[in-house]
Structure 1
Amino acid sequence: MKATWEKIEKNLGVLDVEVEADRVAAALDKAFNKVVKKVNVPGFRKGKVPRSIFETRYGVESLYQDAIDILLPEVYGEAVEQAEIFPVDRPEIDIEQFSKGEAFKFKAKVIVKPEVKLGDYKGIEVAAVAAEVSDEELSQELERLQERHAELAVIDEGTAASGDIAVIDFDGSVDGVPFEGGQAERYSLELGSNTFIPGFEEQVIGMGTGDFKDVEVTFPETYHAEELANKKAVFKVKVHEIKRKQLPELDDEFAKDVSEFDTLDEYKEDLKKQLLNRKEQEAQGVRENEVVEKAAANAEIEIPEAMVQSEVQNMMRDFDNRLRQQGMNLEMFLSFSGQSQADLEGQMKDDAMKRVRNNLVLEQIGKEEKLEATEEEINQELSNMAEQYKRPVDEIRNILASNGSLDSLREELVLRKTIDFLLENSVEGAPAAKEETATEE
């Protein structure tokens, strides 16, 4: 097989491929063996039609498309490897020649990974980040722990308030006509979470168990379903239950329930250490982000749109998975937030561009500095994964090898080493401005 690569412009080029006639013949044989099983010819059992009779009756050309489908993925991959290019999107294939007894010729228009022209990446100034825990932050963490360990108690009297969980049925309609996604039974809605259409939750507040109410709202003008945008809707709502959080007392018993300590003072001391460790990790993350973004800003790259769109789709899948872990899905989120999928993807595009740029720059720096992941480091990472998932190391290795993720693991380790390299070769600047925000959980 011969493969030549010619760059047309920026990250676009043409891969010119010629495949030997004997491989074409082998592909035609495979195509015939596949097709003959489905062919009915009088005088022959299904699957037993001789090749010569098949070609006389149907023509050898009837096998061409199946043969191309069999051969093309295989030889395209070989051609990419031979030309030493890295495609980032599906190629545009132009078949120039395919016939029995002749070579297979095709051209593939390919968008490839862009070249990265590095700027300065050593000696980057990175702000110092102080890691300390204030008494206020400790108190806020204790309050969050109270919330986390609160019990949901069904209240028999009174009405729903912000922060309560209302278990409701709702049935929505516009001009008396039900619409898709507007109905549910025994749905647990946290009032004040702003997950439903604006104005909905506020009208549920004040309802009691067993109450019925028509909740009237107006869909946002930018609602993803155009037929509902800016339309008034009526939801018939029934409240089945109201659940309210009962916070535990902050005392020694609370400490015993949530930790291995006997007193609240001991637990607070340990919690402060945990918070400090978390803030140190966050500070390290801030420094890593800064040094990577500054190195990326100093580089010159023309990023193909296909790479950005691919990263957006990865982000969308991650977001959908997180929603499912919370008992929701992407369709429900879009319905209640009034956004379209295109809106959400548009919001993610800048971050996707930044991720792609940063990764390309880190990859190039790793190559420049000849950074590699050793077998010892890979084995250690596999051991960590085996411990996390409670599975044998060999099983984890085989799973990753079978789905092609072992190379991804190696690449991830090199990226981490590259970030460490950048920090080791950075200089400490003035302390970063202190944020007036509480530590996130």
Structure 2
Amino acid sequence: MSQTQTWEKKEGNVGTLTITVPAEDFDKALDQAFNKVKKDIQVPGFRKGKIPRQMFEKRFGVESLYQDALDIVLPGAYSKAIDETGIKPVDQPSVDVKEIEKGKDLVLELEVTVEPEVELGEYKGLEGKEIDAEVSEDDVNEQIEALLGQYAELVVKEGEVAEGDVANIDFKGFVDGEAFEGGEMEGHDLEIGSGTFIPGFEDQLIGLKAGEEKDVEVTFPEEYQAEELQGKDATFKVKLNEVKEKEAKELTDEFVKEELEGFEGVETADEVKKQIEEDLKNFKEQERDYELRESLVVQAAENAKMEIPEAMVESEQQRMLQEYEQRLAQQGLNLELFEQISGQTKEDLLEQMKDDAFKRVRTGLTLQAIAQAENIEATEEDVDNELQKLADQFQMAKDDIKKVLGDLSVIENDIKNQKAIEFLVDNRKQ
């Protein structure tokens, strides 16, 4: 006799999965459980771990093996039941043991939360958002100005502080007439307009001249990193030591040859302009394609109906948090240090991610439903091409990538989702 299972869908996304494990399979699990626990048992007349099975059951009862046997049987039985019934669980099930006895079939009832059924709305003939991808002369000049700004030199300026200048200052901060820790510095260079100081601080320096002093009145933000200063009014006694302004470079052939970096194979100012124009065009075209695809996906998801289980949203929040931690690591930070700097906890971040997590889940389910409705598949060639891209990206052999990934279903699902998006694009309102 082999294992049997039945699935009964109930209200919402929850159902009952009943699994019947044959008696011989459960008895084998009992044998494994006994061999596991006997190693630590010592009784008079027998060496440790050598107690006979019959004596064990007489002394401790066969029931003492049931939980270990259940732990041995359940993972495989549950996995097989999922495959046989075709359900897609999204959370750990709750298990109710209905019948458990040596020599008899094991009967389990599991309450399982599964992926919701998606009722697709309108997804063909949608009107996508199309943005202008044209590159103007002003666009090119703006990029050139920003590029030259990276090479600008600071020179001492006579006259008043203005937006964009760098002010060298001494300052000391007071709250309620008392100086506070960390509020004093000498010879600090502050770029006016950079937003690096407390809101309102930099603006009040505009118009000062070197050698002048001023009391700057500000209010610390309610979410300031130092709790004792949150929301407090403060006075900073500031002395302006020196003012420097940025002296921009000019885009000349000489500048391109002698100073400009990051533009391989170019030697003239005209060639730089041409490359900037081409880069801008490529960027705007990518931005246009992204906006078009995103707008169509959002519309299709909003038109679909589904009841999303909270467990799916929570799982997505955890994935988003892992992504965020990876980005922090690239900056040399970790979550603990981020919490100290920002004053935000992991729970705060998860709550902030909740809406986006919900949208991600809804989008994923919608694309999955579209792929199913349109018989969209990930071919072997598609998967092979994706594996090759990963191999090239990480400079590994393709077979090694496959070994690392193990289950290729994630790649297959991603390919189907991308094909579903292409379907939306190809079938949009023209």
Q: Which TM-score tier does this pair reach, normalised by the shorter chain?
A: 0.7 to 0.9
CA distance in 2, matches of 1:148, 1:90: 53
- Within the alignment, does 1:61 sit opposite 2:63 as a pair? yes
Instruction: Kindly provide the amino acid, as one letter, of the partner of residue 252 in structure 1.
Output: V
| DSSP-derived class of the 1:113 partner | coil
**Deviations, residues 206-250 of structure 1 (Å, cap 9, x unaligned):** xxxxxxxxxxx998656899x979598xxxxxxxxxxxx999875
- Within the alignment, does 1:309 sit opposite 2:314 as a pair? yes
- Within the alignment, does 1:275 sit opposite 2:277 as a pair? no
| DSSP-derived class of the 1:107 partner | strand
Let me know the Cα RMSD of the aligned residues: 3.9
Q: Displacement, 1:330? A: 2.0
Instruction: Kindly provide the amino acid, as one letter, of the partner of residue 375 in structure 1.
Output: E
For 2:373, which of 357, 368, 371 is the aligned residue?
368
For 1:348, which of 337, 348, 353 is the aligned residue?
353
* Residue in structure 1 matched with residue 21 of structure 2 by the alignment: 19
Q: Displacement, 1:420? A: 0.4
**Deviations, residues 6-38 of structure 1 (Å, cap 9, x unaligned):** 222111111122211111111111112222222
Q: Which sits farther off after the overlay, 24-33 or 257-266?
A: 257-266
- Within the alignment, does 1:419 sit opposite 2:424 as a pair? no
Q: Normalising by structure 1, what TM-score? A: 0.74
Residues 14 and 108 in structure 1, CA contact (< 8 A), matched pair in contact too:
yes
Q: Displacement, 1:394? A: 1.6
CA distance in 2, matches of 1:396, 1:163: 51
Q: How does 1:41-120 map to 2 (within 5 A)?
A: 41-120=43-122
Q: Which has the larger radius of gyration?
A: 2
| DSSP-derived class of the 1:125 partner | coil
| DSSP-derived class of the 2:102 partner | coil
Q: How does 1:294-333 map to 2 (within 5 A)?
A: 294-333=299-338
Identity of aligned residues (%): 45
Change in Cα spacing, 1:341 to 1:246, as seen in structure 2 (3 Å) is: farther
Residues 219 and 338 in structure 1, CA contact (< 8 A), matched pair in contact too:
no
Instruction: Kindly provide the amino acid, as one letter, of the partner of residue 102 in structure 2.
Output: K
Instruction: Kindly provide the amino acid, as one letter, of the partner of residue 303 in structure 1.
Output: I
**Deviations, residues 367-391 of structure 1 (Å, cap 9, x unaligned):** 0110111111111111121111111
Instruction: Kindly provide the amino acid, as one letter, of the partner of residue 89 in structure 1.
Output: D
* Residue in structure 2 matched with residue 39 of structure 1 by the alignment: 41
Residues 224 and 340 in structure 1, CA contact (< 8 A), matched pair in contact too:
no
Residues 222 and 339 in structure 1, CA contact (< 8 A), matched pair in contact too:
no
Q: Which sits farther off after the overlay, 46-55 or 406-415?
A: 46-55
CA distance in 1, matches of 2:165, 2:324: 24
* Residue in structure 1 matched with residue 178 of structure 2 by the alignment: none
Q: How does 1:198-277 map to 2 (within 5 A)?
A: 251-253=255-257, 254-255=259-260, 258-277=263-282
Q: Displacement, 1:422? A: 0.8
- Within the alignment, does 1:121 sit opposite 2:123 as a pair? yes
| DSSP-derived class of the 1:339 partner | coil
Q: Displacement, 1:55? A: 2.4
Q: Displacement, 1:258? A: 4.2
Residues 371 and 418 in structure 1, CA contact (< 8 A), matched pair in contact too:
yes
Residues 148 and 248 in structure 2, CA contact (< 8 A), matched pair in contact too:
yes
* Residue in structure 2 matched with residue 157 of structure 1 by the alignment: none
Residues 129 and 291 in structure 2, CA contact (< 8 A), matched pair in contact too:
no
Change in Cα spacing, 1:327 to 1:249, as seen in structure 2 (3 Å) is: farther
Instruction: Kindly provide the amino acid, as one letter, of the partner of residue 354 in structure 1.
Output: K
**Deviations, residues 120-171 of structure 1 (Å, cap 9, x unaligned):** 11111113322122334334444555677899xxxxxxxxx9999xxxxxxx
Q: Displacement, 1:46? A: 3.3
Q: Which runs of 5+ in 1 are unaligned?
A: 152-160, 165-181, 183-189, 206-216, 233-244, 429-441
Q: Which sits farther off after the overlay, 413-422 or 255-264?
A: 255-264
* Residue in structure 1 matched with residue 132 of structure 2 by the alignment: 130
Residues 263 and 272 in structure 2, CA contact (< 8 A), matched pair in contact too:
no
Instruction: Kindly provide the amino acid, as one letter, of the partner of residue 318 in structure 2.
Output: Q
| DSSP-derived class of the 2:311 partner | helix
Instruction: Kindly provide the amino acid, as one letter, of the partner of residue 309 in structure 1.
Output: E
**Deviations, residues 305-341 of structure 1 (Å, cap 9, x unaligned):** 1111111111111111101111122222233223333
For 1:409, which of 404, 408, 411 is the aligned residue?
411
Change in Cα spacing, 1:94 to 1:257, as seen in structure 2 (3 Å) is: closer
CA distance in 2, matches of 1:327, 1:258: 28
Instruction: Kindly provide the amino acid, as one letter, of the partner of residue 138 in structure 1.
Output: V
Give the number of aligned pairs: 377
Instruction: Kindly provide the amino acid, as one letter, of the partner of residue 390 in structure 1.
Output: Q
Q: Displacement, 1:274? A: 1.7
CA distance in 2, matches of 1:255, 1:325: 27
Change in Cα spacing, 1:324 to 1:228, as seen in structure 2 (3 Å) is: farther
Q: Displacement, 1:56? A: 2.8
CA distance in 2, matches of 1:163, 1:112: 59
* Residue in structure 2 matched with residue 383 of structure 1 by the alignment: 388
* Residue in structure 1 matched with residue 364 of structure 2 by the alignment: 359
Change in Cα spacing, 1:134 to 1:76, as seen in structure 2 (3 Å) is: same
**Deviations, residues 68-87 of structure 1 (Å, cap 9, x unaligned):** 11111111111222222111
Q: Normalising by structure 2, what TM-score? A: 0.76
Instruction: Kindly provide the amino acid, as one letter, of the partner of residue 134 in structure 1.
Output: S
**Deviations, residues 84-106 of structure 1 (Å, cap 9, x unaligned):** 21111111111222221122112
CA distance in 2, matches of 1:257, 1:221: 42
Change in Cα spacing, 1:230 to 1:80, as seen in structure 2 (3 Å) is: same
CA distance in 1, matches of 2:100, 2:378: 44
Residues 297 and 424 in structure 2, CA contact (< 8 A), matched pair in contact too:
yes
